[in-house]
Amino acid sequence: MIAAALERSGRVFLPSLFLAGVLALTANPARADDAVKLSITIKDQKFDPAELHAPPGRTIAIEVKNLNPIVSEFESADLHFEKIVPAGSQAVVYVRPLQAGRYNFYDDFHHATQGYLVVP
């Protein structure tokens, strides 16, 4: 009797579990292809531009180009990311949707290199 009950519940449970998994994988509101794309360059230990702007509530993709002859670490404690960018290379950093504010970022290897992401 217990075996029959488990078998019946398994028939209902497994398809339900499968459906829940499919929905969880396809219902992703913050997709990378929907991200606001921004670009920034690091050259002569400065960010260009030094201030980026993005709308609130959208995922942000920041493309970082390091034109310095040395490695840089694009980092932000405010935005919870850090990314090593070798000399002459580029990288992309994804930032979660943000509320209005002014968020600092910097080159962790050269602390004088500072910039801001502004969300109105």
Classify residue 114: in a domain, yes or no: yes
Of 63, 66, 62, 64, the C-alpha closest to 44 is 66
**37 lies in a domain?**
yes
Q: What is the per-residue pLDDT for 13?
A: 52
Does residue 6 lie within any of the structural domains?
no
Helix (H) or strand (E) holding 21: helix 2-26
CATH number where 42 lies = 2.60.40.420
| Domain assignment present for 110 | yes
Say if 81 falls within a structural domain.
yes
**Least reliable range by pLDDT among 25-29, 87-91, 93-97:** 25-29
16 occurs within a structural domain: no
Q: Which domain holds residue 62?
A: 32-119
Mean per-residue pLDDT, 106-120: 97
* pTM of the full structure: 0.73
Strands 51-53 and 110-119: parallel
Side-chain half-sphere exposure of 89, counting CA atoms within 13 A: 12
Q: Determine how β-strand 72-76 pairs with β-strand 101-107.
A: antiparallel
How many domains, in total, are found in the chain?
A: 1
Per DSSP, the residues of 23-62 read HHHH--SS-GGGSEEEEEEEETTEEESSEEE--TTS-EEE
Give 17-67 pLDDT, tens digit per residue: 454 444 444 444 455 679 999 999 999 999 999 999 999 999 999 999 999
Q: What does the pLDDT read at residue 110? A: 95
Q: H or E segment at 65?
A: strand 60-66
Tell me, yes or no, whether 14 lies in a domain. Answer: no
84 lies in some domain: yes
